[in-house]
Amino acid sequence: MQQMTQNLQTEKKRQDKEEERRDPPLHSAPASLVMGEASGGGNVSDEMSNPPPARTSSPYVPAPLSQYELRIAIAARTKALFERAGTKYQELIGDHVDGLGHWIKDRVEAYYPIYNILNMLEIFDVQAEKWIELNPPEVLASRLTAPLKVTMVVSDFLFRWFGEALEKKSDAYWREEWIPNKALDSLRSCEGYPFDEKLDRALMRRAAERFPEIDIIMQVEKKVLWWREHPGALRAAKSPRAQLWQWFELETEFLKKGQKG
């Protein structure tokens, strides 16, 4: 998935520049702002219990949250979730606030390029409700009595429940939408190929699922280039889609042989 990673990195750099113009960098905000007390002694628990309102570019169209706002919103939800157990979250989390804050920052930066697809706050809320069903407040209250215990439980939720759900949703998006869309652009532009939106989208989704080791988009581009250089092979093919599938199989076998050798 090297090409996918490069596209994410390019999009991230573009958004980072935009982010710097709109919001202060993370290190300019004290950890206390991210997880609890506001600098200057003011308590911001009310604000931290709810995400900040999205900016609006017009009276009717809400703008998406910036990375900074999204980090604050996730931190607020984390704090609110564990305070449902009646714990003094800010006291108990103590020195571990920086580590959790940086983990949240890393996740937001990693997934922000597909922010319009991956609703991180919705995923958090769904996972939080599932988690609280298995960890009711009366049980949590007896467990969250020391900083280390709180950190372990909070980390378990953030890393395993929230983090794995983000990864699963992201993987599904790349496999089911992004890869097929890019591959279909190449097939659509190939003269002589019997392009069919429905059939080819289903084919690319199956390929992304069946051949996770290879870059499907790059392989489709290579096959299209080969067809352009050998138009007779495409015209003579009974099933260009079967040819394409065999191309994926050969590339997978080639990679496996290279790994063994």
Residues 134-193: tens digit of each pLDDT: 888 777 777 666 666 677 788 888 889 999 999 999 989 989 999 999 999 999 999 999
Q: What's the first-to-final CA gap in the chain, in angstroms?
A: 22
Structure tokens at 33: 């702002």
Domains identified in the chain, total number:
2
Return the closest-CA partner of residue 125 out of 166, 96, 87. Answer: 166
Give the pLDDT confidence score for residue 132 in this predicted structure.
85
Domain shared by 96 and 130, yes or no: yes
Asked if 89 and 116 sit in the same domain, the reply is: yes
Confidence (pLDDT) at 206: 95
- Domain that includes residue 206, residue range: 189-260
Looking at the fold, whether 100 and 218 belong to one and the same domain comes out as no
Q: Which residue has the higher pLDDT, 243 or 139?
A: 243
Asked if the structure places residue 108 within a domain, the reply is yes
Does 193 lie in the same domain as 223?
A: yes
Average pLDDT, the chain: 76
Q: 140 and 233 share a domain?
A: no
Looking at the fold, whether 154 and 207 belong to one and the same domain comes out as no
- Token representation of residue 76: 């607020």
Kindly report the backbone phi and psi dihedral angles of residue 56, in degrees, each rounded to the nearest multiple of 5, phi listed first: -120, 135
Is residue 1 domain-resident?
no
Calculated CA dihedral for residues 200, 202, 206, 207, nearest 10 degrees:
20
Domain boundary among 152, 175, 198: 175
